[in-house]
Each structure stands twice: as structure tokens, then as C-alpha cells.
Amino acid sequence: MDLLKTISSYINPTGIFIFLVLGIIILLFFGISKREWIKLFSFILILILFVCAFLINIFGYRISGDFSNSLFTSGTIEIFEIAIVLFFSLVCLCAIFIYNKKNDHFVKIIMIFLFLVISILVLIISKNFMSFFISLVCFLIAFFAISTILNVKSMSAETETAKERKIIFLQAGTSKSVARFFIASLFFTLLLFFGFSILYGISDVKNFLQLYQEIESSGINIILSLIIISIAFYIYLGIFPFQAPYISFSSKAESSSIYLLWLLYFPAGAIALLKFIPIISILNKNSKAGSYILYILLMTVFLSSIGSGIAGLKTKSLKKTASYFFSLIITGYFINMVLLIAGFIKEDRLDWLNIFYLLFIGACFLPIAFIFSHIENVTKKDNVNEISSLIYRDKITGIVYLISLLSLIGMPGLFGFTVKKYYFDVIVNIFNNGLNGLLDIQGWLTLIILIVYFAAFTAICLRLIIVIFIKKSRDAEADVNFKASKAFYILICFFAALVIILGIIGLMETLNPDVSFFGIRISNSAIFIKNLK
Amino acid sequence: MVFIFYAGFTLFIIGLFGALFFKSITSQIISFQFITVSSLVNFLSFSQILYESPTSILVFVLLSVFLIIIFQFCIILYLYSGLNEPKLKITELEYSLFYFGVAEWLGEK
């Protein structure tokens, strides 16, 4: 009994890692196999292990509660982040299976993928600089390994189609794009390392919590290290004008590595960036430092909105449109920071807003990415015009696509509104203050840049909506059949249902009707978190 | 102390300019070494002078540098092994690392 109690006290967060490491150990025995049934077995095994890890993550937290030591910490926020990342990993696993089941190195790819997921999970729970930095570099190395394997076409069987693909691949200059992207990642790593070295010199801190306590004594000197660390993250997240390596990689790389980029690489960067929020909160107490940080963040949002917005509207490439659009979505994290610095939200609200934002990416952007990949696969062309008249040619896909985009715009009744209502509230509040003459220059600037961001975001969404209603000539329509497999329809419909259900819950929380089931008021989603604890 | 900091920062600036403006990958990797060395100078000098050389920071520096070198090695191996085409052996990028032309930005290329 005592043994069981001891084991259960360690179940959060070790349980998840046990499942994932078990997957790697089992796959070690099949690493060099090229048999089809072994590939299928590996896929199903890892799928089951991911589901088990997802469940143990939630139940482990219920059994053993919060965990913290000198290196790691795992509380409610980390549990939610891990759950979302595991869900993203599941999607990536399916994408890898769909696009690479013919690859001779499939089992090895899955093993590296598991290492990648373990690294990002360690990053989420890391508290100490050592665990944080090492997990981040391990994540980048694993991501490099998996991207290069996925993009090496010479490794697959030498059929005619493979040869044809190889020529296209070489013409596209994928190797150079991959190399350029990872040299930029290496540059990020070194800038972060240098930033840490200055941080260490200014104040002898080794973890983020200590940073929170000791930063006040070190005062304004901390700014230099912060500037270098923020430039590092600016490069990592590929924000305008540093987006060249990211756009080049995402427009030339193979489909499953783009899913890895969107669903694991960017969330990892956002999560890593958010670990520095305590520094920003403390610096915000100094009004001069606070206003500098606010101006830098506003400049970031403005550049990203203009750079990605204009390019997203102008480009004809489907992959580039999706990449610029995703870049705009990621800018949302900077908006959350702006709201914190400007004093519109508190730190605990920011944590939940960030988690909501991760869910928002998963539920609303994923179906669009799936549909784009499907259309590109069917038409073999990377052109926005290929999705024209989609709504008439394949009604189910068209409607799901429309729901996802309307949700991204923030239409009431859909999940996007649940997230975006916080931003809309803030905009209305600032505007009211402006009308009453209570707004200073900083407030006006915040209002203008928020409007620019949402205008750019909505413009890209509207462009993508309008395209599917433009009718193609009958000859062009007859050339390509958009019909997909049943699994594809089930998947996109699942996401559409998720967007609608979460949207209705969000709407109920806003309208606050007095409806309850089994004594629980359904319009109060906080009750779920209370029960979880 | 101030001299060490300035020396480290000078190395960092040299590395930064090299990484941003060179097209040759070899030159970029050498510039990265400058940044690594400047970080090492900072870490080791601060730990010696300010904090009496604690073991934890030495472990951090050793592990981090080891991983950074592995990452660099992986990239160099990928570029020179010619996995995609034996004769490819990329040694130079078309433009510098963050070059972004207007035509490329607007998706016309």
C-alpha cells in the first residue's frame, strides 16, 4: 500500500514520460524493419501510447496534485499545455503516417518524433534555466533530424513517381531552404545563450522563480539581456522582417514537416517566450521601463500585421498564404502581452488566454490546413485559385472551411468568438475612454495597432472566403475531383463540431443564462477547473 | 570586470555582423563560434569573479555548449553529406541569412 502511495505521488508528471519512453524502447526492436505491417503496428502503438499519456496527464494531476522541484514544476497551467501539445502531437503523428507510410525509414521517423515530443514536454514543465535551455536545444536538434529525414526524397523507393518527385524537389531547392531555416534556429539558440550569460552576470539567478524575486534589485541593467533574448525569440517565431527562413521552409518543405512546424515548433517557441512573463510584470512596475516594453511590443505587432497581412493578401501560393496567416495568428501572443503591460488583464488571466489561444489554433486553423493539404495533393498545384468554387464542388469540405474561417474572424456562436471577445472588449473599452477624453498617446497607439492587427487578420480570412465562392469554368472543374476519403470528412467534421460546441459554451458564458444540469450551471466553465483540482 | 564584459561584447558584435551579412555558410558557422566564445567568456568570468565558481553553472555551460556543437555538427553534416544529391554540397546561400526581397515577400517568386 505504501509502495502504491509512493508511486502515485510521482505520477504527475513522470507518468507521461514513462509512456513515451516505453514507445521508443519498443520501437528500438523494429528500427530497421521496412515491412508494411510493422509500420502500421508502430503507428497504432504510438497512437495508443499518446492517448494513454493524455489520460495519465489529467488523472495523474488529480491523484498527486501539483509537483515542483529545483528543475521542474507542473501545475494546472502546465497540465493544460501538455494536454494540448499531446493533442497536436497526435495530429502530427497522423500526418506523418498519411504522407510517409511508404517511406522505408518510417519507424525511425516515429522514434525521432517521440524524442521531439518528450523534449517539448520537458520544456513545458521546466523551471530552471538549465532544463529550459537544454530541452529547447534538444527539441531543435530532434526537429532538425525529423525535418531532414522527411525531406530526403532519395530515401524512398526508386519508382518512376519517386524519381519525378525527386526532380521537382531538387528544382525547388528544398535542401537550401531547410539549411537556411535551421541556421536561423541555431542563431536563435546562440543569442539565447548569450542573453542568459548576461542575465547570469547581472544577478545570480538560475531559475525563472528566482528571477521574479531578484530582478527588482538588478533594476534597469536587465534591459540589455532582455533585448537580446527578445531578438532571439523574434527570430525564432519568424516575425517580419525576419520571416524569410520560415516562409522559404514552409513553402518548399513536405506537408507533414509543415504540420510539425505549425503544431510543435511555434507552440514550443510561444511557451518558451511566456516563461519570461514574470520579468515583464516586474519591469512593468517601473513606469519608464514598462512604457519602453509596451512600445517594443506594439512595434512587433504592427510590423507583423503589416508584413504578414500585405504578403498574405498579395501572394498566390496556397502554402505561403497559410504560412503568413499562421504568422499573424502567432502574433496574438504578443497582443496578449500588450494587454498585460497596458494593464487590461492580470497575469493569471494571461495564462488562461494563452491556453485558449493554443486551443484556438488547434480547433480553427487545423481544418483549414487539412483542406489546403488535401487540395494541393489532389490538384498537384500550389495556387490559391485551386480552391475557387470549392463550396459548389464539395459541399462538406466547403462548409467546414467556411465555419473555420468565420470562427477565426470571431463570429458569435463559434469558438473564435470565445477567444476574441476579450480583445473586442478591450478595444471597446479603450475607444470609450478615448471618447471621454481619458486616453493618453500610449492608449491611442494601442487602439490603432490593435485595429490594424484585426483588420489584417480579417482581410486574409475574407480573401480566403471570397475565393471559394468564385466560380471556375466547367472544363477546369471537370479536370479535378475534390472528393476525399471518409476518414478525411470525419476528421474535418469533428473539428467543425468542436468549434461550434465550444462556441456555444462561450456564448452561454457571455449571455449567462440560468440553465443547469445535475446541479452544475453549464454557463460556468470555471467549474470544470475547480472539479479538476 | 568591465574589461572582460567589453571584450565579450566585442566578440559578440563581430559574430552578430558575420552571421547577418555573410552568404557563405562556413563564414556564418565561424561567426557563430564568436558568439559562443563571447557567451563562455561571460559565464566563466562572472562565475569566477562574482559568484566563486559554482558547480551548477559549469554543468549548465558544459551541457549547453555540447548540445550547441552537436546542432552545428548536424547542420554541417547535412550540408556536406549530399543526402539529396551527391554533387550538391551546399557551401553558400543565395543571399544572406535574413535577406528578404520585395518580390519574394509578396510571393511573386
Amino acid at A368: I
Q: Compare A406 and A421 and report the one with higher pLDDT.
A: A406
Provide the domain count of chain A: 1
Checking if the pLDDT of A123 tops 80, the result is yes
Amino acid at A295: Y
Taking an 8 Å cut-off on Cβ atoms, the answer to whether A189 and B71 are in contact is yes
Quickly state the pLDDT bin for A533 (edges 50, 70, 90). very low
Checking if the pLDDT of A373 tops 70, the result is yes
Burial class (CB in 10 A: 0-12, 13-18, 19+), A69: exposed
Q: Shortest CA distance to A240 belongs to which of A327, A337, A139? A: A327
One-character DSSP codes across A176-204: HHHHHHHHHHHHHHHHHHHHHHHHHHHS-
User: What is the torsional sign of CA A274, A276, A278, A280?
Assistant: negative
Checking if the pLDDT of A436 tops 90, the result is no
Taking an 8 Å cut-off on Cβ atoms, the answer to whether A179 and B67 are in contact is no
Checking if the pLDDT of A528 tops 60, the result is no
Structural domain range at position A373: 332-533
Interchain CB contact of A163 with B (< 8 Å): no
Span A245-262, average pLDDT: 87
Taking an 8 Å cut-off on Cβ atoms, the answer to whether A189 and B68 are in contact is yes
Burial class (CB in 10 A: 0-12, 13-18, 19+), A505: middle
Strand partners, A74: A67
Collect contacts of A230-235 with beta carbons under 8 A, ≥24 apart.
A230/A296, A231/A191, A232/A188, A232/A191, A232/A192, A232/A195, A233/A188, A233/A269, A233/A272, A233/A273, A234/A300, A235/A184, A235/A187, A235/A188, A235/A191, A235/B98
Q: Shortest CA distance to A385 belongs to which of A275, A481, A472, A490? A: A472
Q: Is residue A40 part of a domain?
A: no
Closest approach of chain A CAs to the CA of B95, in angstroms? Answer: 10
Contact assessment for residue A328 and residue A305, using Cβ atoms and an 8 Å cutoff: yes
Checking if the pLDDT of A168 tops 90, the result is no
What's the ipTM?
0.93
Q: Is residue A416 part of a domain?
A: yes
Q: Is residue A18 part of a domain?
A: no
pTM for this entry: 0.90
Facing residue for B97 by CB, picked from A137, A184, A315: A184
Contact assessment for residue A189 and residue A140, using Cβ atoms and an 8 Å cutoff: yes
Taking an 8 Å cut-off on Cβ atoms, the answer to whether A193 and B79 are in contact is no
Determine which of A40-49, A376-385, B22-31 has the lowest per-residue pLDDT on average: A376-385
- Chain A positions touching B57 (Cβ under 8 A) are 200, 206
Q: Of A194, A240, A460, which to mutate for an interface test with B (greatest number of B Cβ within 10 Å)?
A: A194
Cα(first)–Cα(last) distance of chain B, in Å? Answer: 50
Closest approach of chain A CAs to the CA of B11, in angstroms? Answer: 11
Determine which of A54-58, A130-134, A327-331, A526-530 has the lowest per-residue pLDDT on average: A526-530
Q: Taking all residues of chain A, what is their mean pLDDT, rounded to a whole number?
A: 83
Q: How far apart are CA B15 and CA B35, in angstroms?
A: 5
In this prediction, residue A532 carries a pLDDT of 47
Query: CB atoms < 10 A from the CB of A392, how many?
Result: 13
Quickly state the pLDDT bin for A84 (edges 50, 70, 90). very high
| Backbone phi and psi for residue A74, each to the nearest 5 degrees, phi listed first | -140, 105
Q: Which phi-psi region, left, alpha or beta, contains residue B53 (left: φ > 0; alpha: ψ -120 to 50)? A: left
In this prediction, residue A157 carries a pLDDT of 47
Put simply, the chain B residues between 13 and 52 with a CB less than 8 A from any chain A CB are 15, 19, 25, 28, 32, 35-36, 38-40, 42-43, 46-47, 50-51
Taking an 8 Å cut-off on Cβ atoms, the answer to whether A189 and B63 are in contact is no
Interchain CB contact of B94 with A (< 8 Å): yes
Checking if the pLDDT of A257 tops 70, the result is yes
In this prediction, residue B56 carries a pLDDT of 81
Span A372-396, average pLDDT: 84
CA dihedral A415, A421, A424, A430 (to 10 degrees): -160
Contact assessment for residue A153 and residue A95, using Cβ atoms and an 8 Å cutoff: no
Q: Is residue A130 part of a domain?
A: no
Q: Is residue A264 part of a domain?
A: no
Q: Is residue A394 part of a domain?
A: yes
Cα(first)–Cα(last) distance of chain A, in Å? Answer: 24
Quickly state the pLDDT bin for A404 (edges 50, 70, 90). very high
Per-residue pLDDT reduced to its tens digit, A175-229:
778 888 999 999 999 999 999 888 888 776 667 766 666 666 555 567 778 888 8
Q: Is residue A393 part of a domain?
A: yes
Quickly state the pLDDT bin for A174 (edges 50, 70, 90). confident
Span B51-61, average pLDDT: 81
CA-nearest residue to A248 within chain B is B104
Facing residue for B64 by CB, picked from A134, A140, A191: A134
